[in-house]
Amino acid sequence: MIPFRALALVCCLIAGLAPAARAQSPDSPIQQLLQEHRAVILKSSRTSIGPAIDALATSGLPEARAVLNQWQDKNLWVRKSDGLFVFGQKADGGLGLVDITTGERFAVEDPKTLDQLKPNSGIRGLIGAALVQFQLTDPDPRKRAEGLRAIERRPKDSHLEALRKSIPSETDPGLLARKERLERLLTIQYGAPADRVAAIESFRGSLSVDVRAALNPLLATRVVLAEDAPANANVARPVVPGSPELSRDQAFDLLAEARGLARPPDAAARKEAMIAHIDNGAVGGVPVAALDTDAARDRAYTALAEAGLVPAWSPADTIDTALDGAEFLALYREPDPAVTAAAEETLKSIETKLALNQGLDLTLDALSLASIYFLAAIGLAITFGVMGVINMAHGEFIMMGAYTGYVVQQVIPDYTLSLIVALPLAFCVTAAAGIAMERLVIRHLYHRPLETLLATFGISIALQQLAKTIFGTQARPLTSPGWLDGAFTLNDVVSISYIRIAIFVLALLFLALFLFIMKKTRLGLEVRAVTQNPRMAASMGINPGRINMLTFALGSGIAGIAGVAIGLYAKVTSEMGADYIVQSFMTVVVGGVGNIWGTLIGATGIGFLQKGIEFLNPSNTLAAQTYMIVFIIIFIQFRPRGIIALRGRAAGD
């Protein structure tokens, strides 16, 4: 009878060995697959590991994803005793070994008995790319989105089939649209010929940058000698030596490589060779003194060549002579003509739509700039038109309005509420400053334009220095409300920021308000009367001095509101007004002094002119300002009173 202790020991050994044998699963498909690529996996070289990773990713085995994840996290080990691949876990007394098939821990061993696979960053990147196909069908939408982003960053041909398989089961509409679009982009690169053509044509008129990035390589070409072109080559066009696509030297190099020709020495090389072979005052039997003509130099060099002292050459050996009769072709790198034809037609449709949208985007930019110039100039148009005062401090009223908005935001942290408070407050502050300026300075200088210009210029400098003293020289931010963040995007080409849209709307509101004041109020009637004939207006009981004061206050107040609007997208500094004073005067002069419609037309014209010049010469924005001033100088030679001439005092009647 077997002793009880021996029986218990045997049972324990059997119990311990049976799970181990079962857990290790040495004959499982995933273990066999790893064993097939064991040598490559253990070598752990990025240049050779690709087939092993691809074999795991495309195996269809349920354990493949876990193996790749653990490998990427450096938790994949190889046992030295039997070469089995296992997962490792920290455990008391050593390393816990987990079967890669069942996920069960079956032993605890000393880590020294195993080899840990430590993939470098390059191999981890390859494993991450292989894991993408598993992410595409993950239950978590965020994981699926991460998989799509990974494919977009580094697409591979193996991703195409995985992407196609994941599309029918996709439940999220946004991710489904992204998958379908990405599938078409990958089909352009890796699909069958007919599928590639269909995918290319599906992107007709698309403005997305990634579409153009996918199509442009299909039309890449290489230039070859026509006689070396393969019979089935996809010919793009004939190429003429000397064209931008193929210089004459490049053409000769292609010809020389094909026909084994040597490049003929040029004049400089022949000169150096002759200098090196001067013998007793002669070169090739020709006295040095006689080498004053091309014919003599050619004869001397030919003699040296016949003597074997220099490379053979004759006057007929020129690049032009060698290229005579040679034909060159530009061949598409893409071999399928149907694919290149589809890509060419699709890109033409894209370029047409792109040009139209660029025109629309330029128009929106010009309108946005025009609205800024209109806001900045409308106050100047009022004071200049009614009072005939050249106010060089108008830009500083814009600056004062911007700083008013900044101060309000320091007191009221709610940006929306602070903007609502800042607009009327900026009007009041700058209107009060305008009244003070008119009462203290301007009223004493009417009909003395030069002295008015100098006085207001001095005031502008004083206001700039005062702003520097109070706020310092650093730019101050005027933060826009959250609902003005971002931009309205129509497509990949056309977009405009919400701040500029708000400024455009504000300009329209002020246009309507100004027209209402001028056409429907007593103040507007009196202003128009003083503008047309101040003496007659005075005889009718209107006080021209009071009207001038109120007009100056209105113009200055509007400049303050313009300052708040401009400060929302431009930094607030003491010099910011100087950036708009020149454009404001140009707007008023071009449109017509004192006419609101003229100011609107002038601002629009200058905005479009500046944006047009910047579009034609984008690398030099200063040139746009210069050309614009030159154009306006020429314009006022033919229309000195502006587009809409105003009758009255401002017009000189």
pLDDT averaged over consecutive 10-residue blocks of the chain (653 residues)? 43 41 66 88 86 84 86 89 88 86 86 88 82 82 87 83 87 91 92 92 89 91 88 90 87 82 78 86 85 84 84 73 84 92 93 90 89 85 74 89 92 90 93 91 82 88 91 85 84 84 88 85 83 80 85 88 87 84 82 78 87 78 74 80 61 46
Q: Cα-flanking dihedrals φ and ψ of residue 292, to 5°?
A: -105, 5
CA separation, residue 548 to residues 511, 515, 528, 612 (Å): 20, 18, 11, 38
Closest of 266, 245, 248, 244 to residue 256, by C-alpha: 248
Mapping DSSP to helix (H, G, I), strand (E, B) and coil, where does residue 132 land? helix
Q: What percent of the chain has pLDDT over 70?
A: 92
Q: Are residues 449 and 495 in the same domain?
A: yes
Q: Are residues 487 and 564 in the same domain?
A: yes
Strands (E), 476-550: 487-489, 495-497
Q: Give me the residue label for tokens 């324990």.
A: 12
Q: Are residues 403 and 427 in the same domain?
A: yes
The upper half-sphere exposure of residue 320, i.e. CA atoms within 13 Å in the direction of its Cβ, equals 3
For residue 445, give the DSSP letter: S
Q: Which of 577, 610, 643 is the last residue of a domain?
A: 577
30 located within any domain: yes
> Distance between CA 559 and CA 458 in Å, rounded?
19
| pLDDT value of position 24 | 56
Q: Which of 317, 352, 384 is the last residue of a domain?
A: 317
Strands (E), 415-526: 487-489, 495-497
Tokens at 433, concatenated: 């400053």
Sheet harboring 105-109: ordered strands across?
Answer: 105-109, 94-99, 85-91, 76-79, 114-116
Q: Cα-flanking dihedrals φ and ψ of residue 233, to 5°?
A: -65, 150
Q: Which of 286, 301, 317 is the last residue of a domain?
A: 317
| pLDDT value of position 221 | 92
| pLDDT value of position 9 | 40
| pLDDT value of position 404 | 93
| pLDDT value of position 18 | 39
Q: Are residues 121 and 141 in the same domain?
A: no
Q: Which amino acid is at 546?
A: R
Q: Which domain holds residue 211?
A: 136-219
> Distance between CA 400 and CA 564 in Å, rounded?
9
286 located within any domain: yes
Tokens at 256, concatenated: 């020389």
Residue length of the chain: 653
Q: What is the pTM of this model?
A: 0.66
Are 200 and 339 within 8 A, CB to CB? yes
Strands (E), 100-152: 105-109, 114-116
Q: Are residues 383 and 271 in the same domain?
A: no
> Distance between CA 646 and CA 385 in Å, rounded?
8
219 burial type by CB count under 10 A (0-12 exposed, 13-18 middle, 19+ buried): middle
252 located within any domain: no
Sheet harboring 221-225: ordered strands across?
Answer: 221-225, 328-332, 235-239
Q: Are residues 373 and 470 in the same domain?
A: yes
Q: Are residues 164 and 101 in the same domain?
A: no
> Distance between CA 74 and CA 95 in Å, rounded?
14
> Distance between CA 82 and CA 35 in Å, rounded?
11
Task: Mention every residue, 6+ apart, whose C-beta is less than 8 A from residue 532.
Answer: 647, 648, 649
Cα 628 from chain centroid? Answer: 27
Total number of domains in the chain: 4
| pLDDT value of position 161 | 83
Predicted confidence (pLDDT) per residue in 497-542, tens digit: 888 888 889 888 888 888 888 888 888 888 878 877 778 888 888 8
302 located within any domain: yes
Tokens at 377, concatenated: 């100039």
313 located within any domain: yes
Q: Are residues 118 and 149 in the same domain?
A: no
116 located within any domain: yes
> 235: alpha, beta or left, given left = phi > 0 and alpha = psi -120 to 50?
beta
159 located within any domain: yes
Q: Are residues 103 and 158 in the same domain?
A: no
Mapping DSSP to helix (H, G, I), strand (E, B) and coil, where does residue 313 land? coil
Q: Are residues 422 and 377 in the same domain?
A: yes
Q: Are residues 196 and 269 in the same domain?
A: no
Mapping DSSP to helix (H, G, I), strand (E, B) and coil, where does residue 543 land? coil
| pLDDT value of position 620 | 66
Residue 204 burial (CB count, 10 A): 15
434 located within any domain: yes
Q: Cα-flanking dihedrals φ and ψ of residue 490, to 5°?
A: -85, -40
- ∠ at Cα 350 (348, 355), nearest 5°? 95
Q: Are residues 407 and 496 in the same domain?
A: yes
Are 224 and 332 within 8 A, CB to CB? no
For residue 609, give the DSSP letter: H
Enclosing H/E stretch for 479: none
